Amino acid sequence: MPANPEHEILGQHVAASRAVGGGCIDDARAVELADGTRCFVKFARDADAAARLAAEADGLRRLAPHIRVPRVLEEGKRHLALEWLDMRPPSGPRDAEALGSALAALHRHHGTAHGLDRDNFIGPTPQENAWSGDWAVFFTERRLRPLIVRLGRLPGESGILRRVAERLAGHHPAPSLLHGDLWSGNHAMAGGAPVVFDPAVYFGDAEADLAMLELFGPRLGDAFWRGYGGEPNGREARRPVYDLYHALNHLIIFGPSYEGMVRGSVAKLGGE
């Protein structure tokens, strides 16, 4: 049971609870309520988690009209209850094509600028989302600079931001609705369809989601691109930019074991 066994979910006592995957930041549990309802619940591990869980719920609600996500059942001060889905890992070309089609539908939902009307989080890290009409400015100033400042010790800081701006120069993508943290552990199959979860939502370059899909997993193959409608031109040149953001965030969260990933991304940008 979680730290507060008397905790009520949806106005009911918790009849049974077991730990499940998804608890890297908070305590993730499969919960059965008194009436037999099953749900997935995140219980906060720290006193500052309320804002983080609220941002996650907000992101899921924004995604829900455009791609399958677990439905938000309840937001509490220290917990977030979601619909229970029987998930399995994607397997084979059919699942890859279905994911491509689902992401294409999500990315076709456009905003008027890059960002969001609220800040949120990527994992436990605050994520700034103030609007910008210029994607290069948004990514350097709202994504990379805050993490570099927070680390305070990244070599070649100003040079990195300059090289990123150069790499994104002339690239003016439509502001697509993004999952924002779409690594291989944040999507699955449920009921024969792709489902995504643990978002860090904002409007930006669709290629940022595509790059994250490949960061800790295999390259996206022909089946995925068939579903997505083709691979964007010039994507490979911009991929290290988007990889750098997540490498920096992992360095902040998990420490020195990710310094090599950061240096690899910087090297691909022509840096140290």
Same-fold call for 8-84 versus 90-268? no
What are the b/e assignments for 241-263, b being 16+ CB within 10 Å?
bbbbbbbbbbbbeeeeebeebbe
Indicate the domain borders of the chain: 8-84, 90-268
Helix axes 157-168, 235-254, angle to 10 degrees: 150
pLDDT tier, 5 (very low <50, low <70, confident <90, very high otherwise):
very low
Percent of the chain with pLDDT over 90: 77
The CA distance from 51 to 124, in Å, is 10
The CA distance from 146 to 234, in Å, is 26
Q: Are 194 and 90 in contact (CB under 8 A)?
A: yes
Average pLDDT over residues 110-137: 97
Active site annotation includes 181: yes
**7-53 residue pLDDT tens:** 688 888 889 989 887 656 778 899 999 999 999 999 887 767 888 99
Higher pLDDT, 156 or 71: 71
Identify the CA nearest to 16 among candidates 87, 43, 2: 2
- Name the active-site residue from 181, 198, 209, 243: 181
**159-192 residue pLDDT tens:** 899 999 999 999 999 999 999 999 999 999 999 9
User: Could you tell me the fold of the domain covering 8-84?
Assistant: Phosphorylase Kinase; domain 1 (3.30.200)
Confidence check: pLDDT of 135 > 60? yes
Structure confidence at residue 6 (pLDDT) = 43
Look up the CATH number of domain 90-268: 3.90.1200.10
**Region of residue 115 (left: phi > 0; alpha: psi -120 to 50; beta: else):** left
Percent of the chain with pLDDT over 70: 93
What Å distances lie between residue 181 and 13, 170, 192, 201, CA to CA?
33, 25, 22, 8
Average pLDDT over residues 228-237: 96
Global pTM reads 0.93
Q: Which stretches within the chain are classed as H helix? A: 49-63, 92-107, 135-138, 145-151, 157-168, 206-215, 222-228, 235-254, 259-268
Confidence check: pLDDT of 156 > 60? no
